């Protein structure tokens, strides 16, 4: 009698088995960990020097400038140290040595924050008349915007003692995020699954491969398998999110803000109406979203549509397989409207070692770009050649990295670090150009339908879905601010209400989908996701300007990339040609979505 052969499970490689050329080269930050250790000691040695500035900042222009230069020196060194430690720990979240480096850096950074906590209240205590004279002095001109921005925080700055106490809480305040991160990236196990004839270890990264599968049984099984793990840890996840929300409420109230959302929008000088207009405008266009879901259901020939059916390509006959090199070539071709300098710089980085390309055991999930002033901008990917969305993700992260490259080359350190609000414009802009490039070169109606569906899904995921996430964040923070309990059941109930509204009556919502509100990493750093939605709206507007315009429009866009944070984000975008204080860009993006849905429906 023949013995059944046990299928070999394809495991993720450990970090030491990954090819060197597929990893990032962090030497522009530090040649090795030993060099990092030297600079950490240097940072520690500089911290006590804050004391000599205490009580001197109002003495003279020279005293204030000396402090600002010293603080900038520490901040630059801290950015370099922190970025290196963060990138090292991202390589393998279970590696205790790199984890230790990051935690030690956080400890030193927290002490630096405590020692520097006197400065803000001391500067803000300078009488208005004297401050006006200081700002008028030519020698302070390089720091004028720094000080003007600081003065905005005067109503939200506490006494030196209170500021020190808040600074001492920096590490403790990250507990909820850190616990969620360890649980989500290192401890949660999802078992194995059969995919394309192989038994693979189900992970965050290849979950997307499963959802892309034309085999509905694979999609369904992967979905329920992933959520079974979250269900097993639901109370812990709810406790983490509850703690994260209450941390936000605590800091907002400590700094005299009326609400957490007001506190989050204040640094970028973004009016509350921008957030409210976004949600209101998306609500108005939800019938278009529901119509699209009906088109998807018909295209897939399904009686009912579930969440696990919303990622698989509707045009199943189109197969893609882009090696890293082919993906880079495609992206570079699509970005040629931005000029030879942009393309050449990006080519050198993507084919060189800006990127940590593929998944390994313990590696941080998802993708990100991490730029810094004194080094190359780095990109973490968990790239899968057969997943077209990963090509778009690479284009997205490349947009962030080129934004970092241009801003660090054209701005001083104090003004190079652009805000997240504009960051999501630069990244999504690249995706828009890539989408247009593929659509223009579609060989037949079938391929065109494929790319149309992909762009529609991108707008739905980035504009509509992220707005749903933003509304969830707003709702749960308002519940906490009202003194009501955020239990697991309350989280699930509030999330379910939004699922019903955004997906409509024709969509089947599996019960465990209400747990999704606990597994989105951005929810543990609140009020970020709305910037994806505003970002794609601005990106669509700007990409159309560049593609239909000439050198002037291109230079305006490149000027946006070079601006860093030399102005407030809404002003930078206005200079580039789009006004996000009006609902018009969001409405225009959703109208484009509606037109694309009509075109797709006609094709399929």
Query: Could you give the residue numbers annotated as active site?
Result: 397
Strand order in the sheet with 198-201: 9-10, 198-201, 192-195
Six-digit token string for 413: 């350190």
3-state secondary structure of 456: helix
Residue with tokens 């119509």: 291
Go through 578-592 and write b for each residue having 16 or more CB atoms within 10 A of its CB, e for each that does not. Answer: bebeebebbbebbeb
Three-state secondary structure call for residue 394: helix
* Torsion angle of the four alpha carbons 568, 403, 208, 356, in this order, in degrees rounded to the nearest 10: -140
Packing angle, helices 530-548 and 420-440, rounded to 10:
50
End-to-end CA distance of the chain: 51
User: 3-state DSSP call for residue 569?
Assistant: helix
Alpha carbon distances (Å) from 169 to 175, 260, 281, 355, 358: 10, 18, 38, 34, 36
- Helix, strand, coil percent values for the chain (each to nearest 5): 70, 5, 25
User: How many angstroms separate the CA atoms of 145 and 141, rounded?
Assistant: 8
Phi, psi angles (nearest 5°) of residue 115: -70, -30
Closest C-alpha among 176, 150, 174 to residue 163: 150
Q: Tell me the C-alpha to C-alpha distance, in Å, between residue 537 and each of 388, 395, 422, 544, 579.
A: 22, 17, 11, 11, 10
CA distance 436 to 434: 5
């Amino acid at each position: 009698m023949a013995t059944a052969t046990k299928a070999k499970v394809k495991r993720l490689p450990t970090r030491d088995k990954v090819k060197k050329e597929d990893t990032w080269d962090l030497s522009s930050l530090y040649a090795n960990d030993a060099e990092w250790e030297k600079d950490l000691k240097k940072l520690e040695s500089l911290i006590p020097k804050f004391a000599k500035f205490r009580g001197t900042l109002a003495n003279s222009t020279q005293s204030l400038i000396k402090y600002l230069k010293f603080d900038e020196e520490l901040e630059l060194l801290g950015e370099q140290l922190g970025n290196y430690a963060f990138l090292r720990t991202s390589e393998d979240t279970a590696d205790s040595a790199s984890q230790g480096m990051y935690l030690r850096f956080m400890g030193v950074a927290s002490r630096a924050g405590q020692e520097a906590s006197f400065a803000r209240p001391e500067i803000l205590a300078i009488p208005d008349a004297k401050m006006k004279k200081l700002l008028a002095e030519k020698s302070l001109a390089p720091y004028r915007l720094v000080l003007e921005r600081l003065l905005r925080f005067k109503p939200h700055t506490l006494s030196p003692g209170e500021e020190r106490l808040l600074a001492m809480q920096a590490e403790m305040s990250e507990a909820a995020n850190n616990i969620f991160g360890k649980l989500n990236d290192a401890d949660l196990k999802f078992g194995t699954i059969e995919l394309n004839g192989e038994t693979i270890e189900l992970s965050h990264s290849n979950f997307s491969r499963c959802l892309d599968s034309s085999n509905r049984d694979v999609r369904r099984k992967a979905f329920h398998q992933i959520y079974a793990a979250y269900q097993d840890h639901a109370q812990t996840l709810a406790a983490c999110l509850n703690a994260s929300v209450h941390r936000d409420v605590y800091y907002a109230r400590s700094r005299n803000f009326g609400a957490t959302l007001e506190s989050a929008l204040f640094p970028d000088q973004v009016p509350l109406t921008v957030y409210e207009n976004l949600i209101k405008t998306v609500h108005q266009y939800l019938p278009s979203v529901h119509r699209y879901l009906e088109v998807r259901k018909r295209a897939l020939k399904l009686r009912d549509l579930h969440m696990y059916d919303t990622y698989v390509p509707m045009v199943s006959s189109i197969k893609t397989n882009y090696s890293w090199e082919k993906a880079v070539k495609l992206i570079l071709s699509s970005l040629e409207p931005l000029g030879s300098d942009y393309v050449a710089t990006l080519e050198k980085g993507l084919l060189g070692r800006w990127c940590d390309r593929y998944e390994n055991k313990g590696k941080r999930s998802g993708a990100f770009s991490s730029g810094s002033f004194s080094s190359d901008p780095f990109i973490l990917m968990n790239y899968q050649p057969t997943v077209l969305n990963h090509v778009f993700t690479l284009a997205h992260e490349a947009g962030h990295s080129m934004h970092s490259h241009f801003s660090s080359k054209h701005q001083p350190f104090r003004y190079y670090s652009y805000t997240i609000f504009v960051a999501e414009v630069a990244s999504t802009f690249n995706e828009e150009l890539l989408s247009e490039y593929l659509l223009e070169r579609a060989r037949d109606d079938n391929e065109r339908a494929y790319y149309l569906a992909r762009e529609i899904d991108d707008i739905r995921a980035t504009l509509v879905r992220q707005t749903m996430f933003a509304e969830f964040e707003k709702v749960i923070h308002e519940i906490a601010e009202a003194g009501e309990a955020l239990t697991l059941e309350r989280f699930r109930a509030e999330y379910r209400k939004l699922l019903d509204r955004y997906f409509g009556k024709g969509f089947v919502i599996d019960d465990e989908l209400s747990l999704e509100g606990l597994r989105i990493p951005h929810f543990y750093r609140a009020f970020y996701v709305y910037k994806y939605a505003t970002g794609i709206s601005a990106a669509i507007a700007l990409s159309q300007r560049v593609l239909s315009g000439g050198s002037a429009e291109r230079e305006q866009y490149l000027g946006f990339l070079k601006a860093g944070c030399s102005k407030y984000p809404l002003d930078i975008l206005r200079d580039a040609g789009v006004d996000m204080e009006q609902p018009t860009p969001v409405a225009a993006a959703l109208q484009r979505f509606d037109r694309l849905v009509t075109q797709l429906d006609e094709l399929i």
